[in-house]
Protein backbone atom coordinates (compact mmCIF):
# COMPACT_ATOMS: atom_id res chain seq x y z
CA UNK A 1 0.00 0.00 0.00
CA UNK A 2 1.44 3.37 -1.00
CA UNK A 3 1.90 5.70 1.97
CA UNK A 4 0.74 9.32 1.58
CA UNK A 5 2.61 10.48 4.70
CA UNK A 6 5.67 12.67 4.20
CA UNK A 7 8.94 10.92 5.10
CA UNK A 8 10.00 13.84 7.34
CA UNK A 9 8.86 17.27 8.52
CA UNK A 10 11.68 18.81 6.44
CA UNK A 11 10.41 17.04 3.34
CA UNK A 12 6.93 18.32 4.05
CA UNK A 13 8.13 21.89 4.50
CA UNK A 14 10.22 21.78 1.32
CA UNK A 15 7.22 20.42 -0.56
CA UNK A 16 5.22 23.46 0.63
CA UNK A 17 7.77 25.71 -1.14
CA UNK A 18 7.22 24.19 -4.58
CA UNK A 19 4.59 26.76 -5.62
CA UNK A 20 7.27 29.45 -5.15
CA UNK A 21 9.93 27.83 -7.36
CA UNK A 22 8.57 28.87 -10.78
CA UNK A 23 9.60 25.36 -11.89
CA UNK A 24 7.97 23.40 -14.68
CA UNK A 25 9.17 20.05 -15.94
CA UNK A 26 10.59 20.41 -19.44
CA UNK A 27 13.01 18.98 -21.99
CA UNK A 28 15.75 21.04 -20.36
CA UNK A 29 14.92 19.75 -16.88
CA UNK A 30 13.42 16.29 -17.41
CA UNK A 31 13.12 15.22 -13.76
CA UNK A 32 11.07 16.94 -11.05
CA UNK A 33 12.33 18.73 -7.94
CA UNK A 34 13.45 16.51 -5.07
CA UNK A 35 16.05 14.11 -6.49
CA UNK A 36 19.70 14.05 -5.39
CA UNK A 37 20.70 16.22 -8.33
CA UNK A 38 19.13 18.26 -11.08
CA UNK A 39 19.60 17.05 -14.65
CA UNK A 40 20.18 19.66 -17.35
CA UNK A 41 19.74 18.70 -21.01
CA UNK A 42 21.88 20.95 -23.23
CA UNK A 43 21.28 21.83 -26.83
CA UNK A 44 24.17 21.48 -29.24
CA UNK A 45 26.21 24.65 -29.30
CA UNK A 46 24.62 26.17 -26.20
CA UNK A 47 26.93 27.04 -23.29
CA UNK A 48 26.28 27.18 -19.57
CA UNK A 49 27.53 29.89 -17.18
CA UNK A 50 27.64 28.74 -13.54
CA UNK A 51 28.23 31.06 -10.60
CA UNK A 52 27.74 30.97 -6.85
CA UNK A 53 27.82 33.40 -3.95
CA UNK A 54 27.13 33.43 -0.22
CA UNK A 55 25.04 36.00 1.62
CA UNK A 56 25.88 35.98 5.34
CA UNK A 57 23.89 37.70 8.09
CA UNK A 58 25.72 40.63 9.73
CA UNK A 59 28.35 40.50 6.98
CA UNK A 60 26.36 41.07 3.79
CA UNK A 61 22.93 41.94 5.19
CA UNK A 62 21.07 42.68 8.39
CA UNK A 63 17.48 42.01 9.41
CA UNK A 64 17.64 45.28 11.32
CA UNK A 65 16.64 46.99 8.08
CA UNK A 66 15.88 44.21 5.57
CA UNK A 67 12.89 41.89 5.44
CA UNK A 68 13.41 38.18 4.69
CA UNK A 69 11.92 38.74 1.22
CA UNK A 70 14.38 41.59 0.55
CA UNK A 71 17.29 39.43 1.73
CA UNK A 72 16.16 36.64 -0.59
CA UNK A 73 15.76 38.95 -3.57
CA UNK A 74 19.16 40.57 -3.04
CA UNK A 75 20.94 37.24 -2.54
CA UNK A 76 19.58 36.12 -5.90
CA UNK A 77 20.39 39.48 -7.52
CA UNK A 78 24.05 39.11 -6.47
CA UNK A 79 24.32 35.94 -8.57
CA UNK A 80 22.24 37.31 -11.41
CA UNK A 81 24.67 40.19 -11.70
CA UNK A 82 27.50 37.72 -12.35
CA UNK A 83 25.41 36.23 -15.14
CA UNK A 84 24.80 39.71 -16.54
CA UNK A 85 28.52 40.43 -16.64
CA UNK A 86 29.04 37.32 -18.78
CA UNK A 87 26.16 38.13 -21.12
CA UNK A 88 24.23 35.06 -19.95
CA UNK A 89 20.51 34.50 -19.48
CA UNK A 90 19.68 32.93 -16.08
CA UNK A 91 18.46 29.37 -16.40
CA UNK A 92 18.26 27.76 -12.95
CA UNK A 93 19.40 28.16 -9.35
CA UNK A 94 20.40 25.91 -6.46
CA UNK A 95 19.64 27.49 -3.07
CA UNK A 96 21.23 26.45 0.22
CA UNK A 97 20.06 28.09 3.44
CA UNK A 98 21.72 27.81 6.84
CA UNK A 99 19.50 28.92 9.75
CA UNK A 100 20.42 29.71 13.38
CA UNK A 101 20.35 26.65 15.60
CA UNK A 102 18.88 28.55 18.55
CA UNK A 103 15.92 30.04 16.69
CA UNK A 104 12.34 28.85 17.21
CA UNK A 105 11.16 26.39 14.52
CA UNK A 106 8.13 28.47 13.53
CA UNK A 107 10.25 31.59 13.21
CA UNK A 108 12.76 29.68 11.08
CA UNK A 109 10.02 28.49 8.73
CA UNK A 110 8.43 31.95 8.55
CA UNK A 111 11.78 33.54 7.69
CA UNK A 112 12.66 30.94 5.07
CA UNK A 113 9.28 31.30 3.40
CA UNK A 114 9.85 35.05 3.34
CA UNK A 115 13.23 34.50 1.68
CA UNK A 116 11.64 32.21 -0.88
CA UNK A 117 9.08 34.86 -1.68
CA UNK A 118 12.02 37.12 -2.57
CA UNK A 119 13.68 34.36 -4.60
CA UNK A 120 10.42 33.73 -6.41
CA UNK A 121 10.03 37.39 -7.33
CA UNK A 122 13.46 37.33 -8.99
CA UNK A 123 12.68 34.00 -10.68
CA UNK A 124 9.52 35.36 -12.22
CA UNK A 125 11.06 38.67 -13.25
CA UNK A 126 14.00 37.05 -15.08
CA UNK A 127 12.21 33.82 -16.06
CA UNK A 128 14.19 31.04 -14.46
CA UNK A 129 13.55 28.40 -11.81
CA UNK A 130 14.93 27.16 -8.51
CA UNK A 131 15.85 23.57 -9.31
CA UNK A 132 17.08 22.31 -5.93
CA UNK A 133 18.97 23.11 -2.75
CA UNK A 134 19.52 22.26 0.90
CA UNK A 135 18.69 23.35 4.47
CA UNK A 136 21.01 23.05 7.48
CA UNK A 137 21.49 24.46 10.99
CA UNK A 138 24.37 26.77 11.74
CA UNK A 139 25.54 29.80 13.74
CA UNK A 140 23.61 32.40 11.75
CA UNK A 141 21.58 32.95 8.61
CA UNK A 142 23.49 32.16 5.42
CA UNK A 143 22.02 32.10 1.91
CA UNK A 144 24.23 30.30 -0.59
CA UNK A 145 23.15 30.27 -4.22
CA UNK A 146 24.55 28.53 -7.28
CA UNK A 147 23.17 29.98 -10.49
CA UNK A 148 23.27 28.42 -13.93
CA UNK A 149 23.12 30.72 -16.92
CA UNK A 150 22.94 29.92 -20.60
CA UNK A 151 24.52 31.52 -23.63
CA UNK A 152 22.77 30.73 -26.87
CA UNK A 153 24.44 29.04 -29.80
CA UNK A 154 26.36 31.59 -31.83
CA UNK A 155 26.27 34.22 -29.06
CA UNK A 156 29.36 35.71 -27.41
CA UNK A 157 30.15 35.79 -23.73
CA UNK A 158 32.11 38.57 -22.03
CA UNK A 159 35.23 37.51 -20.10
CA UNK A 160 37.29 39.94 -18.05
CA UNK A 161 40.57 39.58 -19.93
CA UNK A 162 39.96 40.81 -23.49
CA UNK A 163 40.29 44.56 -23.05
CA UNK A 164 42.62 46.32 -25.48
CA UNK A 165 44.97 49.26 -25.24
CA UNK A 166 43.07 52.58 -25.58
CA UNK A 167 39.70 50.94 -24.90
CA UNK A 168 37.33 53.11 -22.92
CA UNK A 169 36.24 52.08 -19.43
CA UNK A 170 32.45 52.37 -19.22
CA UNK A 171 29.94 51.81 -16.43
CA UNK A 172 26.18 51.47 -16.26
CA UNK A 173 23.95 53.26 -13.77
CA UNK A 174 25.23 55.37 -10.87
CA UNK A 175 27.87 53.44 -8.90
CA UNK A 176 28.18 54.66 -5.34
CA UNK A 177 24.46 54.95 -4.71
CA UNK A 178 24.35 51.60 -2.90
CA UNK A 179 27.17 52.71 -0.60
CA UNK A 180 25.35 55.97 -0.03
CA UNK A 181 22.19 54.03 0.81
CA UNK A 182 24.07 51.90 3.35
CA UNK A 183 25.60 55.02 4.92
CA UNK A 184 22.11 56.49 5.16
CA UNK A 185 20.82 53.39 6.95
CA UNK A 186 23.74 53.31 9.36
CA UNK A 187 23.87 57.03 10.13
CA UNK A 188 20.22 58.05 10.06
CA UNK A 189 18.83 55.00 11.84
CA UNK A 190 15.26 53.69 11.51
CA UNK A 191 14.50 52.90 7.87
CA UNK A 192 10.95 54.20 8.25
CA UNK A 193 12.35 57.61 9.16
CA UNK A 194 14.65 57.89 6.15
CA UNK A 195 13.83 61.15 4.29
CA UNK A 196 11.95 60.63 1.03
CA UNK A 197 14.79 62.12 -1.02
CA UNK A 198 17.16 59.36 0.17
CA UNK A 199 14.85 56.36 -0.14
CA UNK A 200 15.95 55.63 -3.70
CA UNK A 201 19.55 55.37 -2.44
CA UNK A 202 18.44 52.96 0.28
CA UNK A 203 16.54 50.93 -2.32
CA UNK A 204 19.72 50.69 -4.41
CA UNK A 205 21.42 48.99 -1.45
CA UNK A 206 18.54 46.86 -0.21
CA UNK A 207 17.08 45.90 -3.58
CA UNK A 208 19.66 46.11 -6.40
CA UNK A 209 18.54 45.34 -9.95
CA UNK A 210 21.02 43.23 -11.96
CA UNK A 211 21.54 44.33 -15.58
CA UNK A 212 20.66 41.05 -17.28
CA UNK A 213 19.22 42.50 -20.49
CA UNK A 214 22.00 45.08 -20.78
CA UNK A 215 24.66 42.39 -20.28
CA UNK A 216 23.21 40.35 -23.14
CA UNK A 217 23.05 43.53 -25.24
CA UNK A 218 26.70 44.31 -24.50
CA UNK A 219 27.78 40.77 -25.36
CA UNK A 220 26.20 41.11 -28.81
CA UNK A 221 28.03 44.39 -29.49
CA UNK A 222 31.36 43.69 -31.30
CA UNK A 223 32.94 46.86 -29.89
CA UNK A 224 32.58 45.62 -26.29
CA UNK A 225 35.56 43.47 -25.28
CA UNK A 226 35.42 42.66 -21.55
CA UNK A 227 33.19 43.13 -18.52
CA UNK A 228 32.87 42.69 -14.77
CA UNK A 229 30.04 43.52 -12.41
CA UNK A 230 30.53 46.21 -9.76
CA UNK A 231 30.16 44.14 -6.60
CA UNK A 232 33.25 45.23 -4.66
CA UNK A 233 33.53 48.89 -5.69
CA UNK A 234 34.80 50.70 -8.77
CA UNK A 235 38.31 50.85 -7.30
CA UNK A 236 38.74 47.13 -6.73
CA UNK A 237 36.81 45.97 -9.79
CA UNK A 238 38.66 48.37 -12.11
CA UNK A 239 41.92 47.20 -10.60
CA UNK A 240 40.87 43.61 -11.34
CA UNK A 241 40.25 44.48 -15.00
CA UNK A 242 43.60 46.27 -15.20
CA UNK A 243 45.45 43.32 -13.69
CA UNK A 244 43.79 40.63 -15.80
CA UNK A 245 44.41 42.58 -19.00
CA UNK A 246 47.99 43.60 -18.13
CA UNK A 247 47.03 47.22 -18.78
CA UNK A 248 46.76 50.32 -16.63
CA UNK A 249 43.54 52.27 -16.27
CA UNK A 250 43.27 56.04 -15.94
CA UNK A 251 39.93 57.13 -14.50
CA UNK A 252 38.49 60.59 -15.21
CA UNK A 253 35.40 61.61 -13.26
CA UNK A 254 33.17 64.66 -13.17
CA UNK A 255 30.23 65.65 -11.01
CA UNK A 256 27.75 64.25 -13.55
CA UNK A 257 28.47 60.80 -12.14
CA UNK A 258 26.99 61.91 -8.80
CA UNK A 259 23.21 62.08 -8.45
CA UNK A 260 21.62 65.03 -6.63
CA UNK A 261 20.48 62.80 -3.78
CA UNK A 262 23.95 61.31 -3.32
CA UNK A 263 25.50 64.79 -3.40
CA UNK A 264 23.08 66.10 -0.75
CA UNK A 265 23.63 63.09 1.49
CA UNK A 266 27.41 63.39 1.17
CA UNK A 267 27.17 67.02 2.20
CA UNK A 268 24.92 66.17 5.15
CA UNK A 269 27.22 63.38 6.34
CA UNK A 270 30.38 65.39 5.55
CA UNK A 271 31.60 62.68 3.20
CA UNK A 272 33.16 62.86 -0.26
CA UNK A 273 30.74 61.11 -2.65
CA UNK A 274 33.76 59.71 -4.53
CA UNK A 275 34.45 57.50 -1.53
CA UNK A 276 31.12 55.76 -2.13
CA UNK A 277 31.74 55.52 -5.86
CA UNK A 278 35.22 54.04 -5.53
CA UNK A 279 34.82 51.93 -2.39
CA UNK A 280 31.10 51.52 -1.69
CA UNK A 281 30.50 48.29 -3.60
CA UNK A 282 27.27 46.30 -3.96
CA UNK A 283 26.06 48.39 -6.89
CA UNK A 284 25.80 45.40 -9.25
CA UNK A 285 26.24 47.64 -12.26
CA UNK A 286 28.34 46.60 -15.26
CA UNK A 287 31.88 47.87 -15.74
CA UNK A 288 33.21 47.14 -19.21
CA UNK A 289 35.88 47.81 -21.85
CA UNK A 290 34.87 49.03 -25.30
CA UNK A 291 36.66 50.43 -28.31
CA UNK A 292 36.47 54.04 -29.57
CA UNK A 293 33.74 52.94 -32.00
CA UNK A 294 31.35 51.98 -29.20
CA UNK A 295 28.17 54.10 -29.11
CA UNK A 296 26.34 53.84 -25.76
CA UNK A 297 23.17 55.68 -26.82
CA UNK A 298 21.24 52.79 -28.45
CA UNK A 299 21.74 50.51 -25.45
CA UNK A 300 21.16 53.32 -22.96
CA UNK A 301 17.84 54.19 -24.58
CA UNK A 302 16.74 50.60 -25.11
CA UNK A 303 17.33 49.57 -21.50
CA UNK A 304 16.70 52.97 -19.90
CA UNK A 305 19.99 53.08 -18.02
CA UNK A 306 22.81 55.65 -18.03
CA UNK A 307 26.04 54.39 -19.60
CA UNK A 308 29.04 56.59 -18.88
CA UNK A 309 32.68 56.51 -19.92
CA UNK A 310 34.82 56.93 -16.80
CA UNK A 311 38.29 55.98 -17.97
CA UNK A 312 40.77 54.58 -20.47
CA UNK A 313 42.87 51.43 -20.65
CA UNK A 314 46.52 52.28 -21.30
CA UNK A 315 49.64 50.22 -21.90
CA UNK A 316 51.78 53.07 -20.55
CA UNK A 317 49.91 53.48 -17.24
CA UNK A 318 50.47 51.37 -14.15
CA UNK A 319 47.67 49.94 -12.05
CA UNK A 320 44.78 52.29 -11.40
CA UNK A 321 45.16 56.07 -11.63
CA UNK A 322 42.83 59.06 -11.43
CA UNK A 323 43.05 62.22 -13.54
CA UNK A 324 41.79 65.29 -11.64
CA UNK A 325 40.13 68.40 -13.06
CA UNK A 326 43.52 70.04 -13.53
CA UNK A 327 44.68 67.12 -15.66
CA UNK A 328 47.06 65.73 -13.02
CA UNK A 329 47.27 61.93 -12.79
CA UNK A 330 47.89 60.16 -9.50
CA UNK A 331 47.82 56.52 -8.45
CA UNK A 332 44.66 55.48 -6.64
CA UNK A 333 45.12 53.66 -3.37
CA UNK A 334 43.53 50.26 -3.03
CA UNK A 335 39.94 50.29 -1.86
CA UNK A 336 36.64 48.46 -2.16
CA UNK A 337 35.36 45.39 -0.37
CA UNK A 338 37.93 42.67 0.29
CA UNK A 339 36.70 39.45 1.93
CA UNK A 340 40.19 38.64 3.21
CA UNK A 341 41.07 42.20 4.19
CA UNK A 342 40.36 44.33 7.22
CA UNK A 343 37.63 46.55 5.74
CA UNK A 344 34.65 44.63 7.06
CA UNK A 345 31.33 46.34 6.56
CA UNK A 346 30.09 48.00 9.79
CA UNK A 347 26.80 46.17 10.29
Flag whether 251 is in a domain. Answer: yes
DSSP state of 334: P
Same-domain pairing of 225 and 264: yes
DSSP-assigned letters across all residues of 125-150: HHT-EEEEEEEEEESS-EEEEEEEEE
Could you tell me if 235 and 337 are in contact, meaning their C-beta atoms sit under 8 angstroms apart?
no
Domain count, the chain: 2
Flag whether 296 is in a domain. Answer: yes
Q: What value does the mean pLDDT take over residues 118-142?
A: 96
Of 15-29, 72-86, 285-299, minimum mean pLDDT range: 15-29
Same-domain pairing of 134 and 186: no
CATH no. for residue 31? 3.30.1330.10
Using the 3D structure, point to which of 123, 151, 179 is the last residue of a domain.
151
Same-domain pairing of 144 and 209: no
Q: What value does the mean pLDDT take over residues 43-49?
A: 83
In tens, the pLDDT along 64-121 reads 999 999 999 999 999 999 999 999 999 999 999 999 998 999 999 999 999 999 999 9
Flag whether 344 is in a domain. Answer: no
Same-domain pairing of 142 and 195: no
| Amino acid 346: pLDDT | 34
| Amino acid 345: pLDDT | 39
| Amino acid 166: pLDDT | 97
Which of helix, strand or coil describes residue 265? helix
CATH no. for residue 222? 3.90.650.10
Flag whether 259 is in a domain. Answer: yes
Flag whether 5 is in a domain. Answer: no
Flag whether 229 is in a domain. Answer: yes
| Amino acid 37: pLDDT | 72
- Name the pTM for this structure: 0.88
Same-domain pairing of 190 and 269: yes
Flag whether 236 is in a domain. Answer: yes
Confidence label for 337 from pLDDT (cuts 50, 70 and 90): low
Q: Domain span at residue 41?
A: 11-151
d(CA 251, CA 223): 20
Same-domain pairing of 87 and 218: no
Flag whether 3 is in a domain. Answer: no
Using the 3D structure, point to which of 118, 151, 184 is the last residue of a domain.
151
User: Would you say residue 1 has pLDDT above 50?
Assistant: no
285 or 329, which is more confident: 285
5 or 114, which is more confident: 114
d(CA 259, CA 182): 16
Strand ranges for 9-109 from DSSP E? 47-56, 89-100
| Amino acid 335: pLDDT | 62
Amino acid sequence: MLSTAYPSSEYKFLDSLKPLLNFRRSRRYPIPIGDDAAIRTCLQGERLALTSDSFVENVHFSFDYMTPAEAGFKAMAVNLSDCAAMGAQPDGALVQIIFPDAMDKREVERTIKGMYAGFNEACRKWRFAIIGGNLAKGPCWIIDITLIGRIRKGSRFLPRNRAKNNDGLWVSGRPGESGAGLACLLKLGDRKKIPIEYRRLVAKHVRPVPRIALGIGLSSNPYVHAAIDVSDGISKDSRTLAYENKLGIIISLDDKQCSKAMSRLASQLRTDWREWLFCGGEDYELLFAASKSFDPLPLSRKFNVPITRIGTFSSTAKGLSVRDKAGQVRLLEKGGWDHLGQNALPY
